[in-house]
Every structure is written in C-alpha cells, then in structure tokens.
Structure 1
Amino acid sequence: MDLDHILNELEQKGLRNDETQSDKSLKYLNITKDTGEFLRVIVLATRSSKILEVGTSNGYSTIWLASSIPIEGTVTTIEYSERKAEEALSNFKKADIANKIVFLKGYAQAVLKNLSDQYDLIFLDADRSKYMDMMQDILRLLKIGGLIVCDNAISHESELAEFTAYLRSKQNFSTSLVPVGKGEFLAYKSYNEQV
C-alpha cells in the first residue's frame, strides 16, 4: 500500500471516528490534510532530520513528519494512551516507516524530562493545558535554529494564549501564526538565552 493511500485512509478514518465519537479520549483529533502538507514543506525547507512530536494519537501526523525526513532521520513521538499507541505502531509498520520512529509511551511532562537530544523541530499536538508545564523542557530540547510548531493555534486560541504570549515575549524567538488547518503557531529559536 503506498503512502498517499495510507494517509488518505487514516484521514478518512479519523474524520468518521471523531464525527460519531462523544468520548473525547476516544477521538483521534488528527491534524487536517493541509496541515500535513504544510508540515511536509516545513520539514523539507528546514532540512529537519531530528523531530520531536508531543501527541501521537493514531500516528497520522507522525507519518507526515517521518515520511518527510531523510533516511537517517528520526521522529521521536510521545503518546500516553495505550489504545492509540498500539494503533499508531501498527500504522507505522503499514506505512513502512517504523525504522524512522522512536516511540515513547507515557505522559509528556515526565518523558520530556528524561530526554537530552537537541531537536530541529518540535511539533505540539497534545493536551494544550500542559504546554506551559512543559515549556522549560521544550526550550531546552530545541536546538538553536530550531522551530516549534503548535497545532490548534486558531481553533483553540484562548487555551494557547499563555503559551503563545510567552514565546512572543522571548527576545530569542521569532513567531508567526499561519492560518492553515486549525491554525499553526510557529516559533523559531535564533539563540540561547543567557542564564
């Protein structure tokens, strides 16, 4: 099965599931297809090869990211839901990109504290109420010249207000809000702050 077919299949399954599912924990809450295309262009343009994703769900966005990086690149992705984790791992095998993915199961705040690599790009698509709690680890893990991309920046603007305001206030970050999909907030790190 080719990649476009798998992505299309996952997109349709996500839309069908979320329309009929009333339990939020059982929704996939995937990115939109145009956001996937946007992420692909961003990854290719920035030549990102080490990506960190917070919030895997069923792996739809992870597949967009992993299929855009070089052969030796990796996407490290974090998911706490057992059910979604199993489905994502199965989807990675189907898409033949499991070798590019480092899957970490657990709560992002705890998992991030144990990471030490520097990432070219950090994609946030998880529990928005926890982003400020993760902020110091996100900033620590993002390399100079790296980019944070945060989903739902328009659809859930008020929930992300503190997070986006904080990054906008940082002298070492350039930010932009892109009206694609549910809204993508971008923050580019130009240097490390002096401590």
Structure 2
Amino acid sequence: MDAALRTLLDGLYADGTTHDEAQPDRLRRRRNLEPGSAELLTLVLRVAGARDVVEIGTSNAYSAIWLADAVRDTGGHVLTVDVEEWPGAAENLARAGVEAVVDRRLGDGGELLAGLPDASVDLLFLDAERVEYPNWWPHPVRVLRPGAVLAVDNVLSHPDEVAPFLALVEKHGGFESTTATVGKGLYLAWYRP
C-alpha cells in the first residue's frame, strides 16, 4: 500500500472513530474494521490469491478500500453491499482510486448471497448485522469455492451475536478455522469441502 492511500485510510478511520463516539444510534455508526484486522484480512487475501471477493457491510467503504487495494495485487475485484447508502462511500472509493475494482451495491446481504452462483467466491467477509447471518444460511457456504476464505469480524466483541452463525459453520464441517485476537476479533476459516 502506498503512503498516500495509507494516509487516506488513517484519516477515514480517525473520522469514523470520532463520528461513532458522538453517535448514540448504533445503526448510524460507521463501525469501521480496525486497522490491525484490515491488515491481517488483506494479507490473507493476498496469500490466498483471492480474486472474487464479497463484502457484506460497506458502511463508508473503509474496509472495501483495504480489500480493493489487495485485489489489485491478485487481479481481482470486490463486490460490496450494504442495506443503505452511506454518505461518502462512493467518494471515498474514488479518492482512493479503487472504484475500477469495486462493485458497490445497495441491498440485503442475504439476498445478494442467494443470487450468487455456487462456488463463485474466493473470500467472503461478513461485517454487517451479526444476528442476520444465520438467516442467510446456507448461502455463505454455498458460494465459496474450494480453498476459499470465510472471514467474520466482531467475534470477540459480540460473541453472543455471532455464535449461532459460527455454530452453523462448525456443524457444516469442511473448514479449518481460527479466531485472530486483533481488533474486535476476526474469525478466519479456510474452506476444504
């Protein structure tokens, strides 16, 4: 990552943190991925050679920019979806110069996953309303290619909210997983059906 992009991301993260501290409505907070989690996630993306990346939970596009920078190294693209239009998301992607590798959509994450072809995703990153993830089953697994990565944020900060989804993943089998103790806890699972 070049210095200009890192400076932009640092500014977006700082602005998001300030915004969230002043915002009493949890659903209006940006809730950006922590920088340490973003660094680990994009390292995993690069090591895996992920080309088809899906992010559920765009917010202000902070994490989409991290993912987009990484897929430029793998020759891929990012499909990111959120249920609402966040102020600044499109502008942030343009300022970062990554809009050519990002397809940003408005809609429900579960509906997006349901419409994707089987085995079409190399990395799926879930960073949205955690209690909704089980409602999307079985699509989060159905869309993964063999060797794909499933990543879920906030597994240490909100364990009760992600536990039902992670239980479905464990019951399904075919995953080797770990929880990285960075940020708010990043669950990483390698899919080996």
**C-alpha displacement of 1:80:** 1.2
**C-alpha displacement of 1:10:** 0.4
Q: Which residue of 1 aligns with 2:96?
A: 95
TM-score, with structure 1 as normaliser = 0.92
List gaps (5 residues or longer) in structure 1.
Answer: none
**C-alpha displacement of 1:135:** 2.1
Aligned counterparts of 2:61 and 2:191: Cα–Cα separation in 1: 26
The alignment yields a C-alpha RMSD, in angstroms, of: 1.4
Q: Which residue of 2 aligns with 1:15?
A: 17
Aligned equivalent of 1:130, options 126, 129, 132: 132
Aligned length: 189
Aligned counterparts of 1:49 and 1:101: Cα–Cα separation in 2: 12
Aligned counterparts of 1:47 and 1:111: Cα–Cα separation in 2: 23
The answer on whether the counterparts of 2:55 and 2:127 sit within 8 Å (CA) in structure 1 is yes
Residue by residue, what CA displacement relative to the aligned partner does 1:24-75 show, whole Å, maximum 9, x if unpaired? 2221011111111111211111111110000000000111111011363100
Q: Which residue of 2 aligns with 1:75?
A: 78
Q: Secondary structure at the match of 2:32?
A: coil
TM-score, with structure 2 as normaliser = 0.93
Aligned counterparts of 1:183 and 1:46: Cα–Cα separation in 2: 20
List gaps (5 residues or longer) in structure 2.
Answer: none
Aligned counterparts of 1:188 and 1:144: Cα–Cα separation in 2: 9
The answer on whether the counterparts of 1:112 and 1:137 sit within 8 Å (CA) in structure 2 is yes
Q: Which amino acid aligns with 2:17?
A: L
**C-alpha displacement of 1:178:** 1.1
Aligned counterparts of 1:149 and 1:56: Cα–Cα separation in 2: 15
Q: Which amino acid aligns with 2:137?
A: M
Q: Secondary structure at the match of 1:180?
A: coil
Aligned counterparts of 1:122 and 1:35: Cα–Cα separation in 2: 15
Q: Secondary structure at the match of 2:173?
A: coil
Aligned counterparts of 1:8 and 1:70: Cα–Cα separation in 2: 20
> Which runs of structure 2 are paired with 1:18-57 in the superposition (5 Å)?
18-57=20-59
Q: Which residue of 1 aligns with 2:105?
A: 104
Q: Secondary structure at the match of 1:70?
A: helix
* Higher mean C-alpha deviation, range 54-63 or range 100-109: 100-109
Aligned counterparts of 1:76 and 1:144: Cα–Cα separation in 2: 19
Aligned counterparts of 1:114 and 1:165: Cα–Cα separation in 2: 24
The answer on whether the counterparts of 2:146 and 2:192 sit within 8 Å (CA) in structure 1 is yes
Aligned counterparts of 1:144 and 1:135: Cα–Cα separation in 2: 18
Aligned counterparts of 1:60 and 1:107: Cα–Cα separation in 2: 19
